[in-house]
Structure 1
Amino acid sequence: MTDHRTALAPALRSMTVLVAAVIVHDKANDRVVLLQRGPRAKFGQGMWDLPLGKSEPGEPITDTAVRELYEETGLTVKPEALKLAHIVHGAQGVQAPNGYLTVVFSTHDWTGAPENREPDKHAQVRWTEVDALPEEFVRTSAGALRGYLDGGPLMTLAGWR
C-alpha cells in the first residue's frame, strides 16, 4: 500500500507557500510592532521582521494572520480589522524552493501588549517608531512596511529574473 503523503510529496514540493504578515500600526504614537529573529531562526538571524507565518492547509489567510500575530506577539486582532497592505511574491525562500506569496495586512485595532511568545525563534518583540526603523531588517518585509507607510507600490517581486 502506498502512503498518500509519499505519493503527494512531488506535488507538495512544487507548491507555493502561502504566508501572512501583519503590520500593527499605532497611529497615535506612530509606531509599529516588530520582532527580532533569534539565533535559532530558520533565516535572517538577528534581523528585524514583521510578525508573520505560514498558512495551515484549509486556513483562510486572514485566520493565518490572526493566529500568527497572537502566537508570536500575544496581540489579538479580529479578521475584520485587517486591511490588505501589500503582497510579496518571492521566487524562492526558506522552506519554499518553488516560491512563496506573502499577504501583508495592516491593523490599527488590536488588544493586548506585545510580548515575545516564541523566545526559541525571536530575540525580542517591541514597538518601534516608524522614523527609527532598524537597518538590519528582512528585505522583503522592510519593503512591504515602507510601501505601506509611504503609500508606495502594493506589490513586490523578490528573486524573479
Structure 2
Amino acid sequence: MAQPNALKPALGSMTLLVAAVIVHDKAANRVVLLQRSENAKFAQGMWDLPVGKSEQDEPITETAVRELHEETGLTVKPDSLKVAHIIHGAWGVEAPNGFLTVVFAAHEWTGEPENREPRKHSQVRWVGADAIPDDFVDTTGSALRRYLSGGPEVSLDGWR
C-alpha cells in the first residue's frame, strides 16, 4: 500500500521482519514449543518457538497471531501480546541482509496446542519452563531463556 508522497526506499535491501510468540502458562509454569521436523528449511530436529515472517502490509502483531494459529492452533488477541524480547540478527538463512525478530509473550489464549504443520514440525507441545531443551534454535532459545529469567530484552546475533 503506497503512502501519499512517499519517498523512495532509503535502503536497497531491507531487513526481514519476523514475529515469535512465547505462550506462557504462568499458573503451570510451562510454555508451548515446537520441534522442527527433518523436512524443515533449517534447524532440522531442533526446538523452537512458534515463529514466522511478516507478510506485506501486515502489522507485526498480526504476524504473531497468524503464525501462532497456523502452527499450533492457538488463538491470541493482538492487543493481549506483550513485547518480551527483540532479536537483531546481522544475517539469517532467509535473510542475508539481516532480520529483526519481535518476540511476544502471550498469557491469554484459546485452544490447546496441536501440530498444524506436520510437514514443518515433528511435534508441538507444552514444556515445563524449567525443562527447556538444549537443542534449541540459538536466537529464539536465548530470547526464551532471557524472558523466563528476567534477563536483557535485546539480543544481537552475528554482529561484530
Taking structure 1 as the reference length, the TM-score comes to 0.91
Partner of 2:101: 102
TM-aligned CA deviation for residue 121 of structure 1: 0.5
> 1:95 and 1:26 mapped to 2: Cα distance?
31
5+ residue gaps, structure 1, are 1-9
Counterparts of residues 48-127 of structure 1 (less than 5 Å): 48-127=47-126
Matches within 5 A, 1:19-30: 19-30=18-29
**Structure 1 residue 80, shift from structure 2 partner:** 0.9
Deviations 1:85-139 (A, max 9, x none): 0000001111100000000000110000000001110110000001111010001
Q: Number of residue pairs matched?
A: 151
The RMSD of aligned alpha carbons is 1.3
For 1:52 and 1:137, locate their aligned partners in 2 and report how far apart those are by CA, in whole Å.
Answer: 13
Structure 1 residues 129-140: aligned runs within 5 Å = 129-140=128-139
Where do 4+ consecutive residues of structure 1 move more than 3 Å? none
Partner of 2:86, secondary structure, is strand
Number of the residue aligned with 1:37:
36
Residue identity opposite 1:131 in structure 2 = D
Q: Aligned partners of 1:89, 1:26: CA distance in 2, in Å?
A: 26
* Identical-residue share of aligned pairs (%): 71
Q: TM-score when scaled to structure 2?
A: 0.92
- The amino acid across from 1:113 in the alignment is E
1:42 deviation in Å?
1.0
Q: Look up the SS of the partner of 1:131 in the other structure.
A: coil
**Aligned-residue offset at 1:147:** 0.9
How far did residue 15 of structure 1 move?
Answer: 1.4
Q: Which amino acid aligns with 2:44?
A: Q
Query: Partners of 2:89 and 2:41 in 1: how far apart?
Result: 17
Aligned to 1:158: 157
Instruction: Point out the structure with the larger helix share.
Output: 1
Structure 2 stretches lacking a partner, 5+ long? 1-10
Question: Amino acid of the residue matched to residue 53 of structure 2?
Answer: K
